[in-house]
């Protein structure tokens, strides 16, 4: 399957799929970014890690990470709730894909109400 990744311009995947593709465990942001660079090396222009539970200073946070082949990377921290949701990754991917198609920008400006 990996030999076909070069045809993708965008890969949006959760943590466990990135771990399967790269055959490595991801538990920190540095490990996540390293795995994303490996996916870039397979030919994928934009990589989005849609949800990853990462540890920093013994605290687990839920983050979304995006990067492109130039090395630019973006991070969004998401509140970690003690519940399981179904379909949110698909919705996230649809919204990000629409944003990229409409604007061409990876960076999403966030604001609080």
Cα–Cα nearest to 78, from 93, 91, 96, 65: 65
- Residue 90 annotated to the active site: yes
Under a CB-based contact definition with an 8 Å cutoff, are residues 10 and 97 in contact?
yes
Tokens of 113: 């109400």
Question: 23, 58, 68, 90: which one is catalytic?
Answer: 90
Under a CB-based contact definition with an 8 Å cutoff, are residues 53 and 61 in contact?
yes
Output phi, psi for 72, to 5 deg: -65, 140
* Residues carrying an active site annotation: 90
């Amino acid at each position: 399957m990996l030999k076909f990744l070069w045809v993708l311009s965008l890969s949006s995947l959760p943590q466990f799929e990135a771990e399967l593709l790269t055959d490595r465990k991801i538990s920190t942001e540095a490990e996540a970014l390293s795995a994303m660079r490996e996916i870039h090396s397979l030919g994928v222009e934009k990589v989005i890690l849609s949800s990853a539970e990462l540890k920093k200073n013994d605290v687990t946070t839920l983050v979304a990470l995006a990067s492109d082949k130039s090395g630019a990377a973006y991070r969004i921290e998401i509140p970690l709730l003690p519940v399981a949701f179904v379909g949110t990754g698909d919705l996230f991917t649809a919204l990000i894909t629409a944003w990229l198609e409409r604007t061409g920008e990876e960076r999403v400006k966030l604001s609080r109400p």
